[in-house]
Structure 1
Amino acid sequence: MTDERENFINALVDLDETKCIELLKQRVAAGEDPGIVLEDVRKATDIVGERFEDGRFFVSDLMMVGEILKQIMEILRPLFETGDMEDKGTIIIGTVGGDVHDIGKNIVTALLEAEGFTVIDLGIDVPPEAFVSAIKEHKPIVVGLSGLLTEAIESMKETIDAISAAGLRDQVKIIVGGGRTDLETMEYTGADAWSDNATSGVTTFRKLAGVE
């Protein structure tokens, strides 16, 4: 990894907003692949998540990271525009109950919107019944359950169980996502797919939605 990429990651982890955005603009001006930038954002957010779980970061720190992320996505989003803005369907996404991380979710949301999907973002710490209500109201083709904490996996399972209990499971595809998710998580929670990476996660959303 180049020094520029490491400096960018460190600036985001250190909550150095000015330096982070300055380095981002330099990378964009140099014509760097925005996908690589997103990969660096993911690496930084993994570190942030670890620090939060270790008690070195607090909710206020997560909120600061979220604010920096919004600026990052405002700069990167136009680079992902495809020009084909035909509505490809509705997707519901949210961070599951007990988890307040929204960094990865926000990245995925921005990319999905750039792809032409209508995204209903339920926010953070979303209880199972809120997902159930949103599915009934918006009738999405895919539901994304996000979480960064290890404890979020249990919340994901509870949410999918609630969707099943409401008789809605066969109406939607469900993807679980976050730094702690893997194939075992997918099987345990009863999801249809999983992703620990925003860019590959969007590809998975497309496949679940039947968009190739």
Structure 2
Amino acid sequence: MAEFKDLKDLIVTGKLEDAKVLVNEAIASGVTAEDIINNYLIKGMEEIGQRFEEGKAFVPNLLLAARAMKGCLDILKPLLKDASGTSLGTLVIGTVKGDLHDIGKNLVASMLEGCGFEVINLGVDISDRQFVDAVKKYNPQIVCLSALLTTTMNYMKNVIDTLAAEGLRENVKILIGGAPVNEEFARQIGADGYSANANGAVVLAKRILQAC
């Protein structure tokens, strides 16, 4: 019997290939995709996230862990598609126009996806019109805006204003994140929430959807 509990540690240490082997062994042994995600992948990402907050892990560690989790999710996704009610909700996420930074945004997207959300990752340098088009196409419950520069953070308000002008603002919750923004800025631009890290983004997204 494989020690599937080791899967969490493989996620924490970012050992992609070893983690994929263990995921396949777990599937062959009858462990459900949901159990693998909830009991191993998510717990691994929660642990590396906690280590990061405590200064015991760094961005490269987060990236390796996120890469390992994504590789495991790629194996599990086909199994999840056949299950009902597995998605917690749909989110659109992107770095706003003029900003090409995507490390933090991708970490948040990976965490959200690993925790059961369907995530539409638009990428970087995304205009207000592109966000509008994505909302119309995917009908998400949440839109996540990211910015790492003080010169681009104010564009978040452009996105919110354009969504409002298109009559879409009431249909979605807006969450923001990135080094230069904070809770006060979120209130100023009319966003629904702010998170300083990926773990917090997951908690916030879940809380917002439960309140809907």
Q: TM-score range by the shorter chain?
A: 0.5 to 0.7
Q: 2:177 aligns to what?
A: 177
Q: What SS is found at the alignment partner of 2:160?
A: helix
Conserved? CA contact 1:141–1:172, under 8 Å: yes
Conserved? CA contact 1:88–1:211, under 8 Å: no
Q: Any gaps of 5 or more consecutive residues in structure 1? A: 1-22, 46-64
1:75 aligns with 2:76: no
Q: 2:136 aligns to what?
A: 136
Map 1:87-102 → 2, pairs under 5 A: 87-102=87-102
**Letter of the structure 2 residue corresponding to residue 184 of structure 1:** E
Count of matched residue pairs: 165
Conserved? CA contact 2:108–2:197, under 8 Å: no
- Mapped to 2, the partners of 1:89 and 1:205 lie a distance apart of 9
Cα 1:118–1:33 shift into 2, 3 Å? closer
Conserved? CA contact 1:181–1:195, under 8 Å: no
- Mapped to 1, the partners of 2:186 and 2:95 lie a distance apart of 16
1:35 aligns with 2:46: yes
Q: TM-score, normalised by structure 1?
A: 0.66
Identical-pair percentage: 37
Q: What SS is found at the alignment partner of 1:210?
A: helix
Cα 1:33–1:121 shift into 2, 3 Å? closer
Cα 1:125–1:39 shift into 2, 3 Å? farther
Q: 1:145 aligns to what?
A: 145
Q: 1:20 aligns to what?
A: none
| Deviation digits for residues 176-197 of structure 1 (CA, Å, limit 9, x no counterpart) | 1112221121012210001111
Conserved? CA contact 2:175–2:193, under 8 Å: yes
Map 1:2-17 → 2, pairs under 5 A: none
Shift of 1:149: 1.2
- Mapped to 2, the partners of 1:90 and 1:37 lie a distance apart of 24
Shift of 1:35: 3.0
Shift of 1:39: 5.2
Larger displacement relative to structure 2 (190-199 or 148-157): 148-157
Shift of 1:34: 3.9
Shift of 1:36: 4.5
Q: What SS is found at the alignment partner of 1:133?
A: helix
Shift of 1:113: 1.3
Q: What SS is found at the alignment partner of 1:73?
A: helix
Task: Calculate the aligned-residue CA RMSD, in Å.
Answer: 3.3
- Mapped to 1, the partners of 2:152 and 2:186 lie a distance apart of 12
- Mapped to 2, the partners of 1:125 and 1:39 lie a distance apart of 29
Cα 1:210–1:75 shift into 2, 3 Å? same
Map 1:48-63 → 2, pairs under 5 A: none
Shift of 1:202: 1.0
Q: What SS is found at the alignment partner of 1:151?
A: coil
Q: TM-score, normalised by structure 2?
A: 0.66
Q: Any gaps of 5 or more consecutive residues in structure 2? A: 1-12, 20-39
Shift of 1:76: 4.1
Map 1:191-206 → 2, pairs under 5 A: 191-206=191-206
Conserved? CA contact 2:48–2:65, under 8 Å: no
